[in-house]
């Protein structure tokens, strides 16, 4: 029995080691640097140029009164089928436009508002002060990590932010680590396939490109809920 236990331990260690080696090989030589769009950072991943991050100075645009009409945020939130005890991560939460809407639907759960800009997190904390919603926790992330515990969240939401990640593959691995085995990742991006969507090309993504990038890190597309005016609502799960 003792020998069997030792063999199983060695086998598990071998599998974990192979997984780490595979991940490290994916991470090597993944980015290309070359000139591109004026609004891009000159860094490319899987044929897509990464866009500049929108600074905290754009909070007014995030909170614009036309946003509900243009993006139908209410329908997006319904698409997520939030349960009262869900733990949700709003990655690139910005001013918390989606954060508080989700938190109100999960009174027995928690919403992590993750951002790399302290000014954005301060805006969320200010909202908490004047709100009756208390189940929101701000998290200062990094360019490579969402800074959340392993297997800690049921749902992850990314709204028009993934295309701005300076290290997209590392961020996907980080989110995959934080997501529970049966969790869902909602990737919301302006549709690159639709020239009528009034957003700069570099701030759009096609479903094909999104699937290619997510699959490279171990996710698969469950469905694309195509009921939003301008955006994809792509639901990914772990393979």
Main-chain phi, psi angles of 194, to 5 degrees: -110, 105
Per-residue pLDDT tens digits for 179-238: 999 999 999 999 999 999 999 999 999 999 999 999 999 999 999 999 999 999 999 999
The DSSP annotation for 217-230 comes to: TTEEEEEE---SSS
Residue 5 has pLDDT above 90, yes or no: no
Domain annotation for the chain: domains and CATH numbers? 55-238 (3.40.50.150)
Which one is predicted more confidently, 87 or 22? 87
Q: What proportion of the chain, given as a percentage, has pLDDT over 90?
A: 87
pLDDT band at 146; cut points 50, 70, 90: very high
Residue pair 113/126 in contact (Cβ under 8 Å)? The answer is: no
pLDDT of residue 27: 56
Per-residue pLDDT tens digits for 160-189: 999 999 999 999 999 999 999 999 999 999
Burial state string for 150-179 with b = 16 or more CB within 10 A and e = fewer than 16: eeebbbbbbbbbbbbbbbbbbbbbbbbebb
Interval 68-97 mean pLDDT: 98
pLDDT of residue 16: 53
Distance CA 85, CA 184 (A): 15
Residue 15 has pLDDT above 70, yes or no: no
Per-residue pLDDT tens digits for 37-65: 999 999 999 999 999 999 999 999 999 99
Instruction: Please give the DSSP secondary-structure letter assigned to residue 53.
Output: P
Per-residue pLDDT tens digits for 66-76: 999 999 999 99
Confirm whether pTM is higher than 0.75. Answer: yes
pLDDT of residue 29: 67
Main-chain phi, psi angles of 56, to 5 degrees: -65, -15
pLDDT of residue 228: 98
Interval 142-162 mean pLDDT: 98
Mean residue pLDDT across the chain: 91
Q: What proportion of the chain, given as a percentage, has pLDDT over 70?
A: 88
């Amino acid at each position: 029995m003792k020998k069997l236990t030792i063999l199983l331990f060695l086998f598990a260690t071998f599998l974990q080691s192979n997984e780490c080696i595979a991940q490290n090989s994916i991470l090597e030589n993944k980015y290309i640097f070359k000139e591109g769009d004026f609004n891009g950072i000159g860094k490319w991943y899987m044929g897509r140029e990464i866009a500049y991050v929108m600074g905290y100075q754009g909070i007014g645009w995030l909170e614009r009164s036309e946003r509900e009409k243009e993006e139908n945020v209410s329908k997006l939130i319904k698409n997520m089928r939030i349960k009262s005890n869900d733990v949700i991560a709003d990655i690139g939460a910005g001013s918390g436009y989606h954060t508080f809407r989700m938190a109100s639907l999960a009174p027995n759960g928690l919403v992590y508002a993750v951002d790399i800009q302290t000014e954005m997190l301060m805006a969320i904390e200010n909202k908490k002060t004047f709100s009756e919603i208390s189940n929101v926790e701000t998290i200062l992330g990094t360019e490579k990590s969402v800074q959340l515990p392993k297997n800690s969240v049921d749902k992850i939401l990314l709204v028009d932010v993934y295309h701005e990640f300076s290290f997209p593959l590392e961020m996907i691995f980080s989110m995959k680590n934080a997501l529970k085995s049966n969790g869902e990742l909602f990737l919301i991006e302006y549709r690159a396939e639709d020239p009528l969507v009034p957003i700069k090309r570099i701030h759009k993504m096609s479903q094909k490109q999104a699937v290619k990038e997510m699959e490279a890190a171990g996710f698969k597309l469950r469905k694309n809920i195509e009921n939003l005016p301008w955006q994809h609502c792509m639901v990914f799960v772990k393979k």
